[in-house]
Copies of this chain bind each other. A is one copy, B any other.
């Protein structure tokens, strides 16, 4: 019998997690990964910290190079190779070698789409050209870093107040640049409710960032090709550089053209095994649909942690194992200078479209014993089903030590716990770490 051949489209978190699992379970299989960008297995989430100057060299963000994949795991990872089309009947892929321009066909027994996501690009005059950046692959971060080093821009406009926007605004603050943040919504961080987002907005303004909410970017004004200003529907903001952080969409075009059905937000439709409806074709990571464990609906989210998990599950199943990815809860954490933010489950805003009765509470407390030096503030919002008290979601905004507390709520939601059960939990207490009642328990207590 010939060796089974596994082809993976996309060489980052999901794709290479899958490749690793396949190798473990199928020591003799042939595994090839095609990656369009110049890098494999890098931390896309780490780019803001590289831009901020906290990470010295970009190669620190690379977990494993193509050479290491070959020598350590006998996995052929080909960078600068773009898959142009997939024939799911013939079991072939057409691949463009971006260095040579050569196009060739390759065959597979098992195929994984791990094509990731792509940043949303608005239809705005003056967008194309130098000085406007978006961060998708590591190469984007490298080019942005080069631009900053060479041009020493002083004024940056960040368009979009989501996770990437906030993290990039922090990065530029650390570089002591003049930062403006524009969002057409009337709040930052749309995955948070507006009351919690208000604390985040305050923190953004507190570090000197100009925050323009409810404003739409109309054009990028240029002078001899260089960025001069960002024109919104209300003002012109002088700028030497623009960062787009308008969110991402699944990179599912290739799969769609191959005839595979799409699901939530046009992500590739898969089941909990990460299998598409076509035998031997799989999808994982930012391009694939997942399941929301609170709403019990199909869901799509682009996050490194989820990509690692779905990639692992896909790899195990592709290699003949049995692994089911139960879905996500919507957990996310981030920080902006002194402020940490976290959310899990569903927000009040999301609940508007869902059929739940619920109660909500917001408390303000301390991250540590009040008398402990530098004890920070923490705001916790918690949402629970009514009656019964099953926890539906939580949002946390606060100082150092706040964000990772969300994990307890995420765990409690996964276990379908009630607020009463959360209050009874035996969580760690010592003055440097918490209050005798952890702040999330203080919130839960008020929902009993």
Stretch in A30-38, A107-115, A350-358, A405-413 with 4+ CB within 8 Å of B: A405-413
How many identical subunits does the complex contain? 2
Contact residues in B for A340 (Cβ distance below 8 Å) = 433
A405 proximity list for chain B (CB < 8 A): 404, 407
Q: Are B414 and A425 in contact, CB atoms less than 8 angstroms apart?
A: yes
A interface size (C-beta, 8 A): 66
Check if A414 sits within 8 Å of B426, measured CB to CB.
Answer: yes
Q: Is A436 an interface residue (CB 8 A)?
A: yes
Answer whether A333 and B429 are a contact pair too, CB < 8 Å, given A411-B408, A436-B305: yes
Q: Which residue of B lies closest to A309 (CB)?
A: B424
Say yes or no for A26: interface residue by CB 8 A criterion.
no
- As a 0/1 sequence over residues 293 to 317 of chain A, the CB contacts with chain B under 8 angstroms (1 = contact) are 1000000000111111100000000
Q: With an 8 A cutoff between CB atoms, is A438 at the interface?
A: yes
A265 to B416, CA, bound (A): 35
**CB proximity to B under 8 Å, residues A356-378:** 369-373
Does A40 lie at the interface of the complex (its beta carbon under 8 Å from any beta carbon of B)?
no
Give every chain B residue within 8 A of A85 (Cβ-Cβ).
none
- The 3 tightest CB contacts between A and B, nearest first, are A415-B415, A333-B428, A305-B429
What are 16 A-B residue pairs whose CB atoms fall within 8 Å in the complex?
A: A46-B371, A46-B372, A46-B431, A308-B437, A309-B437, A328-B426, A330-B426, A335-B432, A342-B428, A404-B428, A404-B433, A405-B407, A406-B428, A407-B438, A414-B421, A414-B425
